[in-house]
Structure 1
Amino acid sequence: MAGLGRSFAFLWSSTALSNLADGVLKVGAPLLAVSMTRSPALVSLVGAAATLPWLVLALHAGALADRADRRRIMVRANLVRAAILGTATLLAALGLLNLWLLLAAVLLAGVSEVFADLSAQSILPMAVRTNDLTRANGRVSTAQMIGNDFVGAPVAGLLVVSLPAALYGAPALLYALAGLLLLGMRGAYRVDGPRERRPMRAEIAEALRYLWSHRVLRSLAITAGLLNFANSAYFAVFVLWAVGDGSAIGLAPGEYGLMTTAFAVGAVLGSLLSGRAAAWFGEFRALLGNWLLSSLLLLVPVLVPSPWTLYPTAVLWGLIGAAGNVLVISARQRLIPPELLGRVNSAYRLVGMGGMPIGAALGGVVAEFAGLAAVLVGATGVCLVGVFLVWRALSDQISGPLTSAPTLSDISRSR
């Protein structure tokens, strides 16, 4: 990529392929589940299986990213994902795939994703200059959105109708290629300098103390946790609200894929405009506005359940959400010391994403008893509460950058 160097070019290319695989799997697995059952509780298990590994393994994956070569971790994680989904492809071709094997494949692929993603966020500051972080994160976010939604979603919608076995075979091939591309990055990607090798438990505890003592990161993590919990409940059952003859919106599976493509169009724009938004409004004001608007937009498909309102709403979801993601990730990479980046990132994402499987499963259970609309409206309410909490906690930084990090000596004194 121009101006960002050879290593970033290989990292970006690998990210693009792995996220294309993510997009096919993310959209294809729920659609395949809907073809097997119409139970909200069972369909919601797909979302729970995809995110459960974050709750269980995030801290250990972050500690490993601070101990080992981050590029090697990513290579191995991608190759493991390829092997898992290749096995699922064989089972599907033999007619042996059922809902429980589908869930197992999603769960195991999610385990590898935890290690790959945490190392990817920690390796980026080692591949580009500090001043280029926001621009590099914008490029990475664009690749993620294009792969996850713009290309992956319609491909998944097509495959689920024409060739279901390829829902696993195509991602398997893409993950393998993504792993091999990382070998083109020059140099070693482990933290420089001598480090005392301590028990992993002690290193994880240090990261947790740092996150908790850092007012900005702590507030953002808690709010992200509430937003992700609510969004997981919302989108775990949204496919039932949107797809099928008996649904509120009445989309066909292929049209659902187009909805996520519309999301990606907005997300690409949001990723590219995030830096300008921060310059115009201030980093925190831009982030707060993003979270507030994206939360309110969750009500649109409930109040006006029509494809004509869903598609433009999806564009806005993508635009606003992607810009917010770039701002948060760039702030974390600036504020966290390099020797703690993997572990504190993992602690942040544990708080931010650990509630996702619980939210997805709870959304399915509530929908069984109270209906889909109750889940969609309730999730919106939780999002608004989260936005209010972060505004209260960080209102003194409303016009400035997300700063004020404690030093490592401060953390040491708090032990």
Structure 2
Amino acid sequence: MPALGRSFAFLWSSTALSNLADGVLKIGAPLLAVSMTRSPVLVSLVGAAATAPWLLLALHAGAVADRADRRRVMVVANAARAAILTAVALLAALGLLDLWVLLAAVLAAGVTEVFADLSAQSILPMTVPDDRITKANGRVSSAQMIGNDFLGAPAAGLLVGILPAAVFGAPALLYAAAGLLLLGMRGTYRLAVPGSAHRPLRRDIGEALRHLWSHRVLRSLAITAGLLNLANSAYFAVFVLWAVGDGSMIGLEPGEYGLMTTAFAVGAVFGSLLSGSVAGAFGDFRTVVGAWLVSSLLLLAPLIVPSPWTLYPTAVLWGLVGAGGNVLVISIRQRLIPAELLGRVNSAYRLVGMGGMPLGAALGGVVAEFAGIAAVLAGATGVCLVGVGLVWRALSGRISRPVTSAPTLSDISGSR
């Protein structure tokens, strides 16, 4: 990591630990929920609780990231979720864990995640030169995938069966360590914008929303991301019922479900690290839209052939194209958005892009309850394909150029 600097090394290390904690929670919470109920509606509430804070708090968290020291925001957020999860781990050890305590824990962790993640994306361009942003994002994304899926997911599968309290206790320790590592970053990470502390918060938020809406490229990407995330949230909110248990179509054990997300992480690590090279050959937008299209079509595989032998290679491909596209989209945003607006416009983008996730998770549970899980999986795939079609149409002039003249970020920086 020396080529990217000391501060980035501490940021990367903190990201790796916090995402390992995220991975244990992301898989452990729904697996605990499945052990408490087989109701699609109740299980889907776990996904809704994890993502609802993005809908409620993203804009305010982005404004805080532009006003406060971004490193300090991340330290406080990590300390807060460490304390919250320690308390829940104690409740679980005392036998007081039920579905509603589980939902409250996931919701509280989600609140702190909003502040930590938005500040993390906004602080990264302050730690590396502009020409290394894509490389740095690739490193961060690979750390996220290794932590979330390669290590955290199988660990969660084991902990659920052995010691449920550790599903909360282990992440608490990891978040605390992640916060301490951030203290190794030297300097200040607060933008000195004259008068920003005295402006009304709603004015800052309004400025970000106007900037996002007036920028055709950012607006198109945000709307498509919103549709894809809504559909994927519905899909994966009930997918655990399609994949895990004696009554499921695939029939995985909890530990085997964790291995599925490990397979996803393997692909994601390669996708993260190779994204810059692929985009250099095909162009940023052609690569992003192609990745989104392939990812959407792959959602059909577990529906058409519900078998572990199909699921694991599909998960690898999900990770490969999903992470690769995600790295490029993040890098595009970081380069197109002015530094003094980065936290707020990032938050506005993620509100549009992720705000529909709790709705999608809840909707997936309701539809599955009345029409079956297969209807949710097929319907979510259809919505994803519609979203890809919309962004293809909006950016067709750039996507359809020959490879030799594929657009770069400098070509579009003035698009509004």
Fold conserved (TM > 0.5)? yes
Partners of 1:118 and 1:397 lie apart in 2 by: 29
Partners of 1:400 and 1:314 lie apart in 2 by: 30
Partner of 1:400: 407
**Cα drift, residue 400 of structure 1:** 1.1
Partner of 1:112: 112
Partner of 1:190: 190
Partner of 1:203: 204
Count of residues in Structure 1 that have an aligned counterpart in Structure 2: 408
Partner of 2:264: 263
Structure 2 length as normaliser, TM-score?
Answer: 0.97
Task: Map residues 119-268 of structure 1 onto 2, 5 A cutoff.
Answer: 119-196=119-196, 197-268=198-269
Partners of 1:28 and 1:255 lie apart in 2 by: 13
Q: Is the 8 A contact 2:153 2:262 kept in 1?
A: yes
**Cα drift, residue 404 of structure 1:** 2.7
Matching residue's letter, 1:34:
V
2:169 is paired with a residue of what secondary structure?
helix
**Cα drift, residue 397 of structure 1:** 1.3
Matching residue's letter, 2:412:
S
Structure 1 length as normaliser, TM-score?
Answer: 0.97
Partner of 1:19: 19
**Cα drift, residue 406 of structure 1:** 4.8
2:264 is paired with a residue of what secondary structure?
helix
**Cα drift, residue 83 of structure 1:** 0.5
Partners of 1:314 and 1:195 lie apart in 2 by: 48
Q: Is the 8 A contact 2:74 2:179 kept in 1?
A: yes
Partners of 2:341 and 2:20 lie apart in 1 by: 29
Q: Which moved more, 1:87-96 or 1:194-203?
A: 194-203
Q: Which moved more, 1:1-10 or 1:353-362?
A: 1-10
Q: Is the 8 A contact 2:21 2:174 kept in 1?
A: yes
Matched, 1:359 2:360: yes
Partners of 2:356 and 2:194 lie apart in 1 by: 36
Matching residue's letter, 1:290:
A
Q: Is the 8 A contact 1:214 1:405 kept in 2?
A: no
Partners of 1:354 and 1:101 lie apart in 2 by: 23
Partner of 2:34: 34
Task: Map residues 373-412 of structure 1 onto 2, 5 A cutoff.
Answer: 373-398=374-399, 399-402=406-409, 403-406=411-414
Partner of 1:46: 46
Q: Is the 8 A contact 2:193 2:340 kept in 1?
A: no
Matched, 1:305 2:306: yes
Partners of 1:239 and 1:382 lie apart in 2 by: 20
Q: Return 5+ residue gaps in structure 1 as ranges.
A: 411-415
Q: Return 5+ residue gaps in structure 2 as ranges.
A: 400-405
Query: CA offsets, 1:263-300, max 9 Å, x none?
Result: 00000000010001101111100001000000000000
Partner of 1:413: none
Matching residue's letter, 1:311:
Y
Q: Is the 8 A contact 1:213 1:406 kept in 2?
A: no
Partners of 2:64 and 2:195 lie apart in 1 by: 13
Partners of 1:165 and 1:379 lie apart in 2 by: 33
Partners of 1:19 and 1:192 lie apart in 2 by: 30
Matching residue's letter, 2:67:
R
**Cα drift, residue 396 of structure 1:** 1.1
Q: Is the 8 A contact 2:272 2:323 kept in 1?
A: yes
Partner of 1:321: 322
2:275 is paired with a residue of what secondary structure?
helix
Partners of 1:53 and 1:400 lie apart in 2 by: 35
Task: Map residues 59-138 of structure 1 onto 2, 5 A cutoff.
Answer: 59-138=59-138
Task: Map residues 272-283 of structure 1 onto 2, 5 A cutoff.
Answer: 272-283=273-284
**Cα drift, residue 401 of structure 1:** 2.5
**Cα drift, residue 193 of structure 1:** 4.5
Matched, 1:331 2:338: no
Matching residue's letter, 1:234:
Y
1:35 is paired with a residue of what secondary structure?
helix
Partners of 1:187 and 1:2 lie apart in 2 by: 18
**Cα drift, residue 16 of structure 1:** 0.1
Partners of 2:367 and 2:253 lie apart in 1 by: 25
Partners of 2:222 and 2:213 lie apart in 1 by: 10
Matching residue's letter, 1:353:
M
Matching residue's letter, 2:95:
G
